[in-house]
Amino acid sequence: MRVVQISSWRPIPGKSLEFLAAVSTAKKIQEKHGTEVTVWQSMFGGANSMTVNYVTSSKDISTHTKRLAELQTDTDWQHFWQEQLANPSATLLSHVLSRRLADIDTPALAPNTSGRPRVLEVLQWGPLTPAQHSLFVAVSKDALAILSRYGAIGRILQVMVGGERVNHISASIEYPSIDAYGTVTEQLDADKDWQKKVNERMGASPDAPPILGVSLATELLV
């Protein structure tokens, strides 16, 4: 079962360029070990606006832990962190490990080959009751199928480790570009299946979980 590790950082004022350089170095080192790495900056999202999310993905938990063990003996990685601890350029806000929500297939995040920054819309919910889980899974499957018609890719994750956020749910919708985000949003507004199978069901059911937040991020280091 695919696992995703998300580290959220806020650059120290005046050190944004230093932080991006550090992130680029970390990304190259982890990719050397086969880890899939993407970096996103939140454009809109309340208190989390302009934070940077460093996202790593592995096909399963054993692969994830194996790569973490490899980093412990990687001299480049050790040197990198010695430099960062001596001269930090950002503040760590949160650090969570998630896996795909049971019963919902979640595709891997493929490398960006277009040369254009992708856009990620992220919706968040708290832990689900059994009744909420049943409705959420059913609606999510329909939503992911409809999104794929328009070239958007949806992923559903549940936090495994992350302090008070354990068992929280997130749905991320990947768009090829910012203009594609606008186009797909308009298409969904006019899509009768989306209105009936997603909006109406989530709006009318007493078992619909409340959304805790929505954010929009753009991809960095493309």
Q: Which stretches of the chain drop beneath a pLDDT of 70?
A: 106
Q: Return the H-helix or E-strand segment holding 125.
A: strand 119-125
Give the pLDDT score at 100.
86
Where b means 16+ CB within 10 Å and e means fewer, 71-99 reads beebeebeebeeebeeeebbeeeeebbbb
d(CA 181, CA 52): 20
Q: Return the H-helix or E-strand segment holding 212.
A: strand 211-220
- Closest to 3 measured CA to CA, from 70, 65, 77, 95: 65
Where b means 16+ CB within 10 Å and e means fewer, 114-123 reads eeebbbbbbb
Residue 63 has a CB neighbour count (10 Å cut-off) of 15
Q: With the CA atoms of 55, 57, 63 and 65 taken in that order, what torsion angle do they form, in degrees rounded to the nearest 10? A: 20
Residues comprising the chain, all counted: 222
First to last CA, the chain: 27
Fold of 3-98: Alpha-Beta Plaits (3.30.70)
CATH topology identical between 3-98 and 99-220 = yes
d(CA 45, CA 94): 15
Domains of the chain, by residue range, sit at 3-98, 99-220
Give the pLDDT score at 2.
87
In sequence order, what are the beta bridge partners of 125? 169, 211
Give the pLDDT score at 163.
78
pLDDT in tens, 162-191: 878 899 999 999 999 999 999 999 999 999
Does CATH number 1.25.10.10 belong to domain 99-220?
no
Give the pLDDT score at 93.
93
Query: Largest Cα–Cα distance of the chain, in whole Å?
Result: 56
